[in-house]
Amino acid sequence: MAALMNEEGGVASRLQAAAATEDLWCLALGLFQVWMFVVVFLIMLPAMFGLSLGVTGVYIQVLVRVLEWATLRIQRGRREQPSVPVPLPNGIIERVGGSMEEEVGQLRRSQSLAGGKFALSDAFYFYKKGLESIVDDQVTQRFSSEELASWNLLTRTNHNFRYISLRLTIIWGLGVFVRYCVLFPLRITLAIIGLSWLVIGTVLVGFLPESSVKSWLSELVHLTCYRICARGLSATVHYHNRENKPQKGGICVANHTTPIDVVILANDGCYAMVGQVHGGLMGVIQRSMVRACPHVWFERSEMKDRHAVTSRLRAHVAAKTKLPILIFPEGTCINNTSVMMFKKGSFEIGGTIYPVTIKYDPRFGDAFWNSAKHNMVSYLLRMMTSWAIVVNVWYLPPMTIQDDEDAAQFANRVKSAIAHQGGLLDLAWDGGLKREKVKDSYKEEQQKMYSSIIAGQNAASSPKPTEEQ
């Protein structure tokens, strides 16, 4: 009797457990359905048509208020406990003095030296310059993330800021929760939807024969996909001067901060991408994209042959009906505080150049991809767990090469225009210095300058080796 009761009791509890799990499943399914509804109808569909429900705008405004409050609290906290300050944009140390001629000339005059002679004090100019460049130089800082003047409540940007107050820590904790548990799943879902839509859509369009319908459809597919991806990063982009948007048969040139630049620009127009053929997921995406409209993908071996690259790009541009090419002439990611040397290869192709400036707002997330520090996947995860990505994109008026300048000068002209528009520092250094050393020709320039100073002061009398005893 007791055994039977026990058995019944066991069955009953098992049934209860089964019912409970079924309930749980129903609940989970229901939640999932609600979730998908939210994602698809409130985010994806409006994104595809370029509309906005205004939620992101409100979110950004709330965020700005919170960050301003946080800044004030941090300042108050700092006055009580002084900490290391952030370097200003013009550097850590005072750099006075003029060019080499002026400085060395001054040194020599104070010693009343005649021309053609060397004095040990001449070397002091170089010692001082050398020390100055060890303490602070313009290039090394461009390959790591920009430091913020005040903390924006992300642990990853927290370099100097210590515990200030309980309220700040609570807000920070809330921020972590919101970013990781609410925003991150949303963004991942959108990204997955966006990318799969890109692959499927372009493959489908690829089956159509070449016609204007096909190009129109492929543009639609590309645009909608990139818009979904942009929402997947909570990207708010402000486009300025849209009348200068790149036209077909042109070349669009922009400063490079992150691979996301492509998503930001393609959100507003269709471009033909240029790049190396990759394997894996990227390769799948590349192969399907090229079915719908002509992008230019190079094999690794082809990239070495500059001539082949240039001729292929030239052929693409010459066919005036093809989409504008998107090129990043810096060749590598720079941290969005400056624009480094533009490689002249892109400017030798010919055609009209449409310069574009992209400036990220560093308060909401650090968009710079430090490829030495993070690989692509961890970089994307960081992007998806930032507050948001707020970007300003300026379309600059088109430029063409003038008769009296060569490709390098033209490249510099375009670079200055882009730097000027975005308020970025215009540097002549090569972004390739991230990984390589300085070319030897630069080293000899200073030697030549100094030699000509000595020789120049030497114009009156030529040095004769005198034998004095």
Residues 172-191 that bind other proteins (CB under 8 A): 172, 176
* Residue 202 burial (C-beta neighbours within 10 Å; 0-12, 13-18, 19+): buried
Comparing CB distances to other proteins, the nearer of 157 and 267 is 157
Across 440-459, b (16+ Cβ under 10 Å) vs e yields eeeeeeeeeebeebbeebbe
Pairwise CA distance, residues 381 & 362, whole Å: 17
Indicate the SS3 state at residue 297: strand
Is residue 328 within 8 Å of residue 256, measured between CB atoms?
A: yes
Residue in the block written with tokens 């050398």: 130
Comparing CB distances to other proteins, the nearer of 59 and 172 is 172
213 binds other proteins (CB under 8 A): no
Interaction residues for other proteins, span 54-83 (CB under 8 A):
67-68, 70-71, 75, 78, 82-83
Smallest separation, CB 105 to other proteins (Å): 14
Of positions 88, 166, 377, 460, contacts other proteins by CB under 8 A: 88
* Residue 91 burial (C-beta neighbours within 10 Å; 0-12, 13-18, 19+): middle
Angle between helices 212-231 and 280-292 (to 10 degrees): 140
99 binds other proteins (CB under 8 A): no
448 binds other proteins (CB under 8 A): yes
Smallest separation, CB 428 to other proteins (Å): 10
- Kindly state the helix (H) or strand (E) to which residue 393 belongs, with its residue range: strand 389-395
Pairwise CA distance, residues 217 & 202, whole Å: 9
Interaction residues for other proteins, span 353-412 (CB under 8 A):
363
459 binds other proteins (CB under 8 A): no
219 binds other proteins (CB under 8 A): no
Interaction residues for other proteins, span 148-177 (CB under 8 A):
148-150, 152, 155, 158-163, 169, 172, 176
Comparing CB distances to other proteins, the nearer of 186 and 454 is 454
Of positions 12, 26, 86, 319, contacts other proteins by CB under 8 A: 86
Comparing CB distances to other proteins, the nearer of 196 and 461 is 461
One symbol per residue from 117 to 136: x for binding other proteins (CB under 8 A), - otherwise; what is it? xxxxxxxx-xxxxxxxxxxx
Which has the closest alpha carbon to 176: 202, 155, 149?
Answer: 155
